[in-house]
Amino acid sequence: MKFANSPLLSQRLPSWRSRLLLLCILAGFAVLAGWSIYLQGFNSAFLQEKGAQRYSRVIELPATRGRILDRNGQVLAVSTPVKSIWAIPEDAKLQPAQVNQLAKLLEMEPREVDRKLADSHDFVYLKRQIPPDVAARILALDLPGIHDQTEYRRYYPTGDVTAHILGFTGAGDVGLEGVELAYQSVLAGKSGSRRVIKDRRGDVVEDVDSIRPPRDGKDVVLALDDRIQYLAYANLRRAVIDNKAKAGSIVVLDARTGEVLALANMPTYNPNNRTRLTGAQLRNRALTDTFEPGSTMKPFTIALALDKGKFRFDSRIQTAPGWFTIGTATIHDSEPHGILTVAQVIQKSSNIGAAKIALTLPPEEMWHNFERLGFGHPLNLGFPGEVGGRVRPYQHWRPIEQATMAYGNGISVTLMQLAHAYLVFARNGDLIPLSLTKLDSPPLFGKQIFTEQTAHEVRAMLEMVEEPGGTAPKARVAGYLVAGKTGTAHKVEGGIYVNRYVASYVGFAPATDPRLVIAVMINEPSAGSYYGGDVAAPVFAKVMAGSLRDLGVAPDEPPQSLQALGQNAPAVKEGT
Q: What are phi and psi of 189, to 5 degrees?
A: 70, -165
Q: Are 244 and 94 in contact (CB under 8 A)?
A: no
If one counts every other C-beta atom within 10 angstroms of the C-beta of residue 573, the result is 17
- The DSSP code sequence of 480-549 is B--EEEEEEEEEEETTEEEEEEEEEEEEEE-TTS--EEEEEEEES--SS---HHHHTHHHHHHHHHHHHH
Cα separation, 206 vs 198, whole angstroms: 7
Integer Cα distance of 537 and 546 in angstroms: 14
Angle at 79 between CA 547 and CA 191, to 5 degrees: 130
- List phi, psi (to 5°) of 520: -130, 135
Name the 3-class secondary structure at 222.
strand
- 319 — phi, psi (to 5°)? -110, 0
Peptide bond into 321 cis (omega under 30): yes
435 in catalytic set: no
- Which amino acid belongs to residue 235? N
Alpha carbons 407 and 355: distance in angstroms, whole number: 7
Query: 539, 250 in Cβ contact below 8 A?
Result: yes
What are φ and ψ of residue 198, in 5° steps?
A: -115, 150
* Separation CA 430–CA 228 (nearest Å): 25
Catalytic residue among 295, 334, 412, 435: 295
- In SS3 terms, 28-81 reads as HHHHHHHHHHHHHHHCHHHHHHHHHHHHEEEEEECCCCCCEECCCCCEEEEEEE
- Residue 439: how many CA atoms within 13 Å on its side-chain side? 17
Q: Is the peptide bond before 81 cis (omega within 30 degrees of 0)?
A: no
| Beta carbons of 408 and 506 less than 8 angstroms apart | no
Assess whether the previous peptide bond of 510 is cis (omega < 30° from 0).
yes
Phi, psi angle pair for 549, to nearest 5°: -65, -40
C-alpha pair distances (Å), 530 with each of 50, 524, 525: 74, 8, 6
Long-range contacts of 211-216 (CB under 8 A, 24+ apart): 211/58, 212/61, 213/61, 214/61, 214/62, 214/63, 214/64, 214/189, 214/190, 215/63, 215/189, 215/190, 216/63, 216/64, 216/65, 216/66, 216/189
Residues with active-site annotation: 295
